[in-house]
Amino acid sequence: MSAPVLHVDLDVFAANIRSVRARTAPAELMLVVKDDAYGHGLDAIVRRAAREGVRWFGAFDVRESLRARHAAGPDARIFSWLTVGREEIAQALRADIDLGVGDAVFLEDIASVARAEQVTARIHLKIDTGLHRNGIRPEDWDGALRRARVLEDEGVLRLVGVWSHIAEASDADDDEARTLFDRAFGAAEAAGFALEARHLSASAASHARPEFRYDLVRVGAFCYGVRSVGGPSGRELGIVPIAALRAPITHVADHSATLGVGSLHGLPSALARRAALEVDGTTRRIAEIALVHTVIELPPGAKIGDEVTVFGDGAASATDLAEAIGTVGEEILVRISPLIPRNYRGL
């Protein structure tokens, strides 16, 4: 090997999906594929998940939603929660994407594009349950429902979902959010909307708190085998990291070895002197991360051309590295350069 490669094991991914589903049933899984499926490559991930029978996909924006539609086929449901502007709305509606709606102006934009395109948009109204990122404030909720009723009667949209996003930082805050959420969908049901999907939780809460599961759980991290920082171990969660970053040894000195991967490939330089790799069962401290190389303590018997696992493969995980520098495993994965080839097993 002469260059770094991100190995992605789709069979392990499929096992994680089964594990997440077993824990969260009867809620259905919406696989979150934002940020190029957390750096693993959206197309291969969506194709394999579709083969495993995953029916819902959650994408951040329209560009990724269209890719997910292409990879998952016409029967999948793709939920896009950040659409901006009329052109994107039109693209989404043409591809039969479910749209998240977090404000009244956007609701009108969707209605007007749907009218022009002569289609019926499927929308999921978002209630702001306290994060204040985006979402209809509780005091504006009834007004939004009245407006959705008028537009639904006109035939330009159908309100099929109510959703929100929670911090998953404290149980008390999450409980408060859930009370607001229950009130919001209660009002939508009372107003006669035929809701198919209530969804509130991501990986952590969907795992730990059954009452947060509702109809759909929007899970990204756990399906990719990424545990939460400070949370339960992968073993407790029944998940295994699906990606391993491997790089070749390019130079050997008396006490150190150099790997052909560096910060330009996405490794945070802050890992130097704070994190360690596991090489053949030994712990090797990272001495330096430069642009295109990394210097580690010399592994026993190291030779030029040997492959070293930077994370994954049962050695330190992305989350283990992240914990050393106060970030989360997702950040390590998402930063791995798209120029590093992804090598898939189980395509």
Ligand X SMILES: *Cc1c(COP(=O)(O)O)cnc(C)c1O
Stretch that binds ligand X, among 137-145, 219-227, 249-257, 318-326 (CB under 6 A): 219-227
| Pattern 50-69, ligand X, x by CB under 6 A | --------------------
Closest C-alpha among 66, 13, 31 to residue 199:
31
Query: Is 203 a residue that touches ligand X (CB under 6 A)?
Result: yes
In this complex, which beta carbon is closest to ligand X, that of residue 226 or of residue 245?
226
| Tokens representing residue 73 in the block | 């086929």
For the bound state, the minimum distance from the C-beta of residue 206 to ligand X, rounded and expressed in Å, comes to 8
Stretch that binds ligand X, among 48-56, 216-224, 277-285, 293-301 (CB under 6 A): 216-224
Among 21, 23, 34, 227, binds ligand X (CB under 6 A): 34
Q: Which residue is nearest to ligand X (CB)?
A: 220
Query: Is 220 a residue that touches ligand X (CB under 6 A)?
Result: yes
Count CA atoms closer than 13 A to 325's CA, side-chain side.
21
| Tokens representing residue 16 in the block | 């994680």
In this complex, which beta carbon is closest to ligand X, that of residue 71 or of residue 219?
219
Interacting residues of 45 by C-beta distance below 8 A, sequence separation 6+: 8, 10, 13, 31, 33, 37
Please tell me the distance from the alpha carbon of residue 233 to that of residue 227, in angstroms, as a whole number.
7
Among 90, 202, 279, 310, binds ligand X (CB under 6 A): 202
Taking CB under 6 A as the criterion, which residues in 165-194 touch ligand X? Answer: 165
Distances in whole angstroms, Cα of residue 158 to Cα of each of 76, 80, 118: 18, 15, 13
Please tell me the distance from the alpha carbon of residue 80 to that of residue 82, in angstroms, as a whole number.
6
Distances in whole angstroms, Cα of residue 63 to Cα of each of 89, 117, 283: 11, 19, 41
Number of residues that bind ligand X (CB under 6 A): 10
For the bound state, the minimum distance from the C-beta of residue 257 to ligand X, rounded and expressed in Å, comes to 34
Give the residues lining the site for ligand X (CB under 6 A): 32, 34, 81, 165, 202-203, 218-221
